[in-house]
């Protein structure tokens, strides 16, 4: 298992990586569905807590696999088998997500699925430590840190009352492990490959949002709701998804990954990008339920179910992608986020959120064109 060159030409995602992403769609879909029903039933705070916890498990396992694969993907038999174990863990985790939204606490399936995915990474790092002497200390630190933290995750299953304190503590430990390990000798991840992998997961999350909204519309129509009454929500939802895609891929991301510090901030910050994008789908489902009178949630709360994740997405993208040298567009992100939050108080919040995002895209296109002609 040799370290791959960070300057390797034409480095693209492999079929195994794409399969890995597709399996994670199941877990992301379950998380978004759980959030949708929790918000629609008036349990937004509890639902958001469960969503934040389960989405961390999904995102962190995916991210660790992605960065490792960028540095050490050999695609041999042991590597493929280890990835299959990780995929199995993702499916086990997905199976426990509905129960987690009911209890608001991680259960055996969620923890077991997560631990299986993480221990498979230990096997990968141990292989890397044997095959890459220059980064042996790094790989051993990763393996040691992951094992210790997984033991921590298992403990609170036997004492559920400690979860509120244990969860943020263990998350902090998970986040510290890569920073500690990489200090020994940095791994050789590929900037173009990382940017492509993150972009592919963005597409998958947006696809889940479309699926969630479509399922909600089908349910409303099956219950006798007329399509005409749902038209503003459908039109606004499509504008939101199209605009979110456009904004994310508005500029190449690989040139942002120029130092390890920037790469860590960019990689970690995508938790909020992905969680917000998936939550948009949940919010659209809530909006459809509200339009069809299938949810008792207040109109403003239903509007916020869409506006808040859109605003979080915009601010997160503004922090991660808009560098200071792009000063003429830098202020647009937070300004638009504030405007989106105000749409929750209108009669058609989803439609106006979509129009606001589409307007942002149009303004950025006009500014880009003006800049290019100078």
What pLDDT, on the 0 to 100 scale, is given for residue 325?
46
What pLDDT, on the 0 to 100 scale, is given for residue 370?
67
What is the pTM (predicted TM-score) of this model? Answer: 0.90
When the pLDDT of each residue in the chain is averaged and rounded to a whole number, the result is 87
User: Who has greater pLDDT, 43 or 339?
Assistant: 339
Model confidence at 287, pLDDT cuts 50, 70, 90, reads confident
Which tokens in the block code for residue 46?
A: 């509890």
Residue 355 has pLDDT above 70, yes or no: yes
The CA distance from 231 to 235, in Å, is 6
Residue appearing with tokens 């979509």: 354
Q: What is the rounded average pLDDT of the residues 331-346?
A: 90
Q: What is the pLDDT of residues 294-338, one digit of tens each?
A: 667 888 988 999 999 999 999 998 888 865 445 555 678 888 999
User: Who has greater pLDDT, 147 or 41?
Assistant: 147
Residue 120 has pLDDT above 80, yes or no: yes
What pLDDT, on the 0 to 100 scale, is given for residue 12?
84
Residue 127 has pLDDT above 90, yes or no: yes
Q: Where are the domains of the chain?
A: 15-182, 191-372
What pLDDT, on the 0 to 100 scale, is given for residue 374?
55
Considering only CA atoms, which of 149, 175, 344, 314 is closest in space to residue 247?
314
User: Who has greater pLDDT, 227 or 128?
Assistant: 128
What pLDDT, on the 0 to 100 scale, is given for residue 162?
83
Of 102-116, 189-203, 250-264, 319-333, the range with the lowest mean pLDDT is 319-333
**Angle in degrees, 0-180, between the axes of helices 44-72 and 163-182, rounded to the nearest 10:** 20
Q: What is the pLDDT of residues 259-286, one digit of tens each?
A: 888 888 899 999 999 999 999 999 988 8
Which tokens in the block code for residue 292?
A: 């069809």
Q: What is the pLDDT of residues 198-240, one digit of tens each?
A: 999 999 888 877 777 777 677 666 656 666 777 888 889 889 9
What pLDDT, on the 0 to 100 scale, is given for residue 319?
86
């Amino acid at each position: 298992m040799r370290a791959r060159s960070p300057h390797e030409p034409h480095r693209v995602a492999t079929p195994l990586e794409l399969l890995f992403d597709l399996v994670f769609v199941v877990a992301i879909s379950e998380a978004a569905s759980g959030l949708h029903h929790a918000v629609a039933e008036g349990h937004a705070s509890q639902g958001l807590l469960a969503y934040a916890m389960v989405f961390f498990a999904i995102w962190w396992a995916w991210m660790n696999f992605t960065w490792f694969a960028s540095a050490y993907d050999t695609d041999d038999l042991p590597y493929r088998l280890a990835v299959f174990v990780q995929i199995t863990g993702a499916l086990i985790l997905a199976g426990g997500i509905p129960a987690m939204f009911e209890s608001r606490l991680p259960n055996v399936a969620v923890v077991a699925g997560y631990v299986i995915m993480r221990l498979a990474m230990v096997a990968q790092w141990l292989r890397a430590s044997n095959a890459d002497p220059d980064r042996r200390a790094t790989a051993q630190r990763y393996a040691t840190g992951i094992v210790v933290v997984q033991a921590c995750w298992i403990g609170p299953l036997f004492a559920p009352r400690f979860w509120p304190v244990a969860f943020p503590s263990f998350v902090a430990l998970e986040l510290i492990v890569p920073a500690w390990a990489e200090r020994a000798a940095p791994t050789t991840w590929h900037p173009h490959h990382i940017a492509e992998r993150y972009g592919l997961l963005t597409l998958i999350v947006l696809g889940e949002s479309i699926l969630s909204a479509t399922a909600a519309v089908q349910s409303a129509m099956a219950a006798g709701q007329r399509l005409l009454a749902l038209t503003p929500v459908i039109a606004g939802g499509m504008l939101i998804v199209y605009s979110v895609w456009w904004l994310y891929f508005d500029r190449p991301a690989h040139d942002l990954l120029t130092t390890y510090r920037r790469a860590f901030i960019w990689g970690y910050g995508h938790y909020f990008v992905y969680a917000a994008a998936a939550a948009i789908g949940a919010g659209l489902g809530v909006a459809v339920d509200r339009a069809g009178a299938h949810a008792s949630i207040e109109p403003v709360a239903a509007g916020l179910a869409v506006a808040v994740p859109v605003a979080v997405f915009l601010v997160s993208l503004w922090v991660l992608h808009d560098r200071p040298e792009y000063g003429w567009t830098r202020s647009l992100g937070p300004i638009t986020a504030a405007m989106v939050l105000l749409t929750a108080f209108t009669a058609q919040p989803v439609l106006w959120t979509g129009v606001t995002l589409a307007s942002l895209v149009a303004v950025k296109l006009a500014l880009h064109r003006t800049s290019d002609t100078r």
